[in-house]
Structure 1
Amino acid sequence: MASTQDSFGSIQDTAPPGAIASKLVVGLVILSFVSYPIYALYLHPLSSYPGGTLEKLSRIPYWIACIKGNQVKWMTAQHRRYGPTVRFAPNDLSYTEAQAWRDICVVPKGKKENGKEIRFHAPSANGTPNLITEPSLMRHATVRRVFSPAFSEKALKTQEPLFQHYANLMVARGRKMGAVNIAELLNWTTFDIMAEFAFGESLGLLEKEAYSEWVATVFNTLIVLPAIQMIEFYPLSRKLFSLLEPKSIAKMRLDHFNHTVTRVDKRLKDGSPKPDLWNLVEESGVLTPGEIYTNAELFMTAGTETTASLLTGTTYYLLKNPDKMKILTDEIRGRFKSNKDITLEALSQLDYLNACLREGLRVYPSIPSAIPREIPEGGNVIMGKWLPAGTRVSVHQTSTYRSPTNFKNPDEFVPERWLGDLIYKDDIRDAHQPFSVGTRNCLGMNMAWHEMRLLLSKLIFNFDIQTEVDASWRDQNVFVIWDRKPLPVTLVDIGAPA
């Protein structure tokens, strides 16, 4: 390296400015690598929260668990090791306490909303938010007010013929097939119900006894959701993917969305004498065409697989616990003399049926992971501690519902815990919020309850359900929702009156 000596005898570096700049950049990079762990572990605003060292430094362990389908087991283990609050990534906190639901999801007067973490949800093909991804609290409230009447108890009562038709068709298909994968049978049913509700016509899955290409695309999309979430999380990867996205994937997304557009447009053009979604939604003029399409697509995914998943899981646990199945069977067959007696109103009064479904939602929740929120500008207080803006917070459902702090014998299927059994008097029932809480809770909750009660009751009223219970069925991957294994059963027709 060239150098000169000044009049005071000191050595002066005469390296080119570019070389000096390069050294400076290298030095800054090295400094950042050295200083970041110190900051993340000891100086970060979340440094006092428990969690693994690697998790506090990087989101990579979380992404690995998600993409492998191991997120639920991984997060449950994190909570078992570190307690009810876990820092599972540099800027992410997971909770398992009842109060966390209220602190995260409820918006008291004068408090800013913890907004939805938009990157968690796959972007819609037309770029328009739906009820889940709408970032504006005011716009969300406006759009929700438009759809709410269609999901009210009064409106759902007018939908009972639709529910009954597909429940009876499900029974007819079960009777014809005898041996069936109950997971498929329930999926066909929920997709047919929602298609007629949202589009004015069935998908015909029960009639064909098979998935359509469009529904198969839904399942394929769900499996790659964690990868999409990871891509969307980082600006650079999001930009690169937009440039390098394979044409086949882009076409699949567009075809799926266009299928929704085509069906909605046909329904709006043709009209319908039946009380479906669009007849029950007032013509307020509030919704844009884009919002109509994205929310129709949302209903077809959020209102189908989740209900079928819960019913499959509950059926498995009832089969695994024949004493519980007998109590439920006796309640249903003792209450009704024929299929036509099984009404939505009557089913809501069956205590053990409701307890079984609620327990199913605890041990096998439709959304087994968590839906994160983001602390807004100015920060918010969660569980008594102030958190800075940008912190992601969530209640992890499976970890919460399987926590021995919240529920006695948490891994056992015990409907009696919801019926006042004194053994379970100390259960923290408020920790169980499978449909979330607050102004962004599940809009279709009432509809889901009616479907769940009706479909499970029709199956049990008409069939003795038999199978060899395989305990390994519970060992399932999760890609945001359960990647359900087939649940083969034999439906033995008992000749119940129509």
Structure 2
Amino acid sequence: MHSSESVSLWAVVLGLVVLSSSVSRLLNHLYFNQHEPQSAILPFVLLVIEPPALLALIDGANSTSFNGLRLLYTYAIFLSSLSLSIILYRISPFHPLAQYPGPLISKATHLWDFWKAYGGRKYLYHSRLHEIYGPYVRTGPNEISVTDITAVTQILRHGGLDRGRFYDRVGQDHIPPSIMNALGEVHAAKRRVWDRALNPVAMRDYEPLIVKRTTQFVSRLAEHGTVDIGCWIDMLTLDIMGDLIFGGGFEMLRAGRDVNRVGERIRGFARGVNLLGQIPWIMKPVGFIPHVGQAVNEFDKFAQDLAIQRAKNGAAGGKDLWYYIADEAELEKEKPTLENAARDAFVAVIAASDTTAYTLTSAIWLLLSNPECYQRVQQEIDSVIANGDDPFDAEKHRELHYLSGCMFAKPATSPILPLILFWTRNETLRLHPALPSNGGTRQVRLEQPGRFIAGRYFPPGTSVSVATHSIHRNPDYFSHPNQFLPERWLPDSKLEKHEPSAFIPFSLGPANCAGQKFAMREMFGVLCVLFRSFEMKFADGFAGEEWPGSFKEIFIVARGPLMVTLDPRNHASI
């Protein structure tokens, strides 16, 4: 064959490749736009096999023209044309979310938001976007971030939007659902168990363990002059949850370190869950992602081993959380398997230890950063809890009105609810919510009709995220939103703007935090003991004002050391 004929043949083949690739990428785009893949496996296989299949159809029997160079060209043309088609559609006025403002790169690809999540700064990035674009921001090709509290309430409460795509993937194959990601009737059944485990009567059985560990905590702190208070609080809350769920075994306070790498395992699991939440279609081949699959699997294995140990050895004292989670009383129609109970149990360790520790540490940082507030809290505690009084007495806690503004604002007076703790309003959690991004997205499913929410239309396939951090610092809802002002929660507050409905650290609706009352009870007791026992200040040379810069959102919030100096107070006693 002459060279001119070869060139002509190559030109014809190239033209057919371009034409067929364009048709193929259009069909792929149209199909997956209407039928979202449940896994990355199918699209990956199609992307691999379609280009050589197209080339084989074009070349026919002319096997001599089927070579590596042509195959490479075919891949390049197919993938580039498919990518260009997708991007142009996403940024075009024809996209269903074209009316929502947002940065061009976010409209074109979710990889930018994934990169922000990978760096732990996604919640800060979204806050800046809301400052620029307003209460509705398009943060992905098919994702809207919302700070309008009217819309947020409709999204999260009963009859709102379903949980997002990530929750559809969890529970498949080797990953059993937990209270965190169960849906529908499964979630309702689990929530019934958790409500039973965390009612006021059940919580009274847990108090001796909390008192025991808090006493040990203060005793260990007294052995040191300068400590990373956040690290010691982490060990305290993990030891408490180890006792309450698995009958003990962590013993971090005694050792002064994370003996079994429990905290490390939690952070590894949280990072994996956080990243999987950004790309839920990767759930099935997750084992191929370095570190992520390993961290999730290691977490599951550790939880299973602890559950087996608890089932074998029994509780450390009376009824513990495992008693309810594993339904040892056999009150449910279907008793959970050991694997399922183990997953719920370790979710409880994360939910009740890390978030509590973060809130306690943030409260200490905020008070030390505002000495007037610190002195006022300490004076109030001293005046209410005298020597010999029980610092865990809930009746005494109700008299700590200023501390309740820092940690728990006093609820409206009600003869029907005289025993409600001051957990409903919280200045620390307003500034530093334990889950800055509210723990996951909601979705208008593709098979459902679009939804009107607060006068805005959300088309099928739209994912909706609630920007808790942004809502809590929104000047439309709170005067001086970035300042620590506990008095904003007091009845005689003179601040112009104060919208309690915009305070949602525990989320809303059926998926709100089941353990919030328990957490607040625990935190109030720990702070009362801590402030009565020590005078605290930032350690010499420690740049306290820079501590929030160490925060990284990994589903929960990872944070750097908080170095403080502790001086025992002579009159204090537990």
Q: Identify if the C-alpha distance between structure 1 residues 471 and 259 changes in structure 2 by more than 3 Å, giving closer, same or farther.
A: same
Q: How does 1:59-458 map to 2 (within 5 A)?
A: 59-108=110-159, 113-118=161-166, 126-135=174-183, 137-215=184-262, 216-230=264-278, 232-235=279-282, 238=283, 241-242=286-287, 244-245=288-289, 252-272=295-315, 273-280=317-324, 281=327, 282-283=329-330, 284=332, 285-338=334-387, 340-349=389-398, 350-357=400-407, 358-370=426-438, 371-376=440-445, 377-458=448-529
Q: Which moved more, 1:284-293 or 1:413-422?
A: 284-293
Shift of 1:423: 2.8
Native 8 Å contact 1:193 1:202 kept in 2 = no
Q: Which moved more, 1:28-37 or 1:406-415?
A: 28-37
Native 8 Å contact 2:427 2:486 kept in 1 = yes
Pick from 455, 478, 497: which aligns with 2:553?
478
Using CA pairs below 8 Å that are at least 6 residues apart, which structure has the higher relative contact order? 1
Partner-residue secondary structure (3-state), 1:459: helix
* Separation (CA, whole Å) in 1 of partners of 2:274 and 2:86: 30
How high is the TM-score relative to the length of structure 1?
Answer: 0.88
Shift of 1:245: 4.5
Shift of 1:341: 1.6
* Separation (CA, whole Å) in 2 of partners of 1:482 and 1:120: 24
Q: Which moved more, 1:55-64 or 1:473-482?
A: 473-482
Structure 1: 5+ residue stretches without partners? 3-12
Q: String of CA shifts for 1:75-105, please: whole Å, max 9, x gaps.
A: 1110100011111111111111222332111
Q: Which moved more, 1:23-32 or 1:163-172?
A: 23-32
What is the match of residue 8 of structure 1? Answer: none
Shift of 1:367: 1.1
Q: Which amino acid aligns with 2:360?
A: L
Shift of 1:467: 1.3
Shift of 1:224: 5.0
Q: Identify if the C-alpha distance between structure 1 residues 138 and 31 changes in structure 2 by more than 3 Å, giving closer, same or farther.
A: closer
Q: Which moved more, 1:67-76 or 1:307-316?
A: 67-76
Q: Identify if the C-alpha distance between structure 1 residues 22 and 286 changes in structure 2 by more than 3 Å, giving closer, same or farther.
A: same
Pairwise CA RMSD of aligned residues?
Answer: 2.8
Q: Identify if the C-alpha distance between structure 1 residues 398 and 31 changes in structure 2 by more than 3 Å, giving closer, same or farther.
A: closer
Shift of 1:39: 4.9
Q: Identify if the C-alpha distance between structure 1 residues 337 and 80 changes in structure 2 by more than 3 Å, giving closer, same or farther.
A: same
Is it true that 1:42 corresponds to 2:93 in the alignment? yes
* Separation (CA, whole Å) in 2 of partners of 1:101 and 1:15: 58
Q: Which moved more, 1:286-295 or 1:14-23?
A: 14-23
Q: Identify if the C-alpha distance between structure 1 residues 45 and 124 changes in structure 2 by more than 3 Å, giving closer, same or farther.
A: closer
Native 8 Å contact 1:337 1:497 kept in 2 = no
Q: Which moved more, 1:424-433 or 1:184-193?
A: 424-433
Is it true that 1:51 corresponds to 2:99 in the alignment? no
Q: Which amino acid aligns with 1:147?
A: W
Partner-residue secondary structure (3-state), 1:426: coil
Native 8 Å contact 1:126 1:290 kept in 2 = no
* Separation (CA, whole Å) in 2 of partners of 1:480 and 1:261: 22
Q: Which amino acid aligns with 1:327?
A: R
Shift of 1:340: 4.7
* Separation (CA, whole Å) in 2 of partners of 1:379 and 1:212: 51
Shift of 1:337: 1.4
* Separation (CA, whole Å) in 2 of partners of 1:147 and 1:171: 30
Native 8 Å contact 1:314 1:360 kept in 2 = yes
Q: String of CA shifts for 1:171-199, please: whole Å, max 9, x gaps.
A: 11111123111101110010011111111
What is the match of residue 535 of structure 2? Answer: 464
Q: Identify if the C-alpha distance between structure 1 residues 51 and 313 changes in structure 2 by more than 3 Å, giving closer, same or farther.
A: same
How high is the TM-score relative to the length of structure 2?
Answer: 0.77
Q: Which moved more, 1:366-375 or 1:451-460?
A: 366-375
Is it true that 1:491 corresponds to 2:491 in the alignment? no
Q: Which amino acid aligns with 1:325?
A: Y
Native 8 Å contact 1:98 1:428 kept in 2 = no
Q: Which amino acid aligns with 2:162?
A: N
Q: String of CA shifts for 1:190-210, please: whole Å, max 9, x gaps.
A: 001111111111410111110
Q: Which moved more, 1:116-125 or 1:252-261?
A: 116-125
* Separation (CA, whole Å) in 2 of partners of 1:497 and 1:14: 92
Q: String of CA shifts for 1:343-364, please: whole Å, max 9, x gaps.
A: 2413540222221011000111
Query: Once the two structures are aligned, what percentage of the paired residues are identical?
Result: 27
